[in-house]
């Protein structure tokens, strides 16, 4: 099973639950060697390699192959999933992260992405624009149809 480090919109339950079908344990985590940048004209960020930087995010544990496929579709062609090491729960753990592909670097703004601003200003807008991109089958017992 694969652990996935999330650093942007997927850190937030309203987005995560639209994309995946399973329920996963999560931990706060830190990814070294990357910087989180805003995307020009969008509410979501990108992660780009940066030697002396780190990103605080959420690590989801033991994802199913089906949900990883859903996440791959959701992230699209501008991202690639890379194997990394994160610090979570006081331990170094293997994980994967969606990193911006070099050929799409022009999408990144020079400014950091702010998670608090996303919740306050961008979450509803993001869900309105992207919430139907990858809607999983409903969970058993879910009221969501």
Beta bridge partners of 56: 30
Domain ranges of the chain: 2-130
In the predicted model, is pLDDT for residue 144 greater than 90? no
- C-beta atoms surrounding 50 within 10 Å: 14
For the chain, give the longest Cα–Cα distance: 46
Residue corresponding to tokens 């017992």: 141
- Can you give the pTM of this predicted structure? 0.89
- The SS3 of residue 69 is helix
Instruction: Output the CATH code of domain 2-130.
Output: 3.10.490.10
The predicted-structure confidence for 97-143, as pLDDT tens digits, reads as follows: 999 999 999 999 999 999 999 999 999 998 888 766 544 434 433 33
DSSP 9: G
């Amino acid at each position: 099973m694969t652990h996935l480090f999330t650093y942007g919109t997927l850190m937030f339950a309203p987005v995560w639950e639209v994309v995946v079908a399973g329920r996963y344990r999560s931990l706060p985590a830190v990814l070294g060697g990357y910087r989180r940048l805003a995307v020009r004209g969008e509410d979501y960020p990108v992660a780009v390699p940066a030697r002396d930087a780190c990103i605080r995010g959420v690590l989801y544990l033991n994802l199913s192959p089906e949900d990883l496929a859903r996440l791959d579709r959701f992230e699209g062609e501008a991202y690639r999933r890379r194997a990394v090491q994160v610090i979570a729960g006081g331990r170094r753990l293997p994980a994967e992260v969606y990193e911006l592909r070099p050929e799409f670097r022009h999408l990144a703004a020079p400014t950091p992405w702010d998670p608090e601003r996303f919740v306050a200003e961008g979450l509803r807008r993001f869900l309105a624009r992207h919430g139907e991109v990858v809607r999983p089958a409903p969970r058993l017992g879910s009221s969501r149809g």
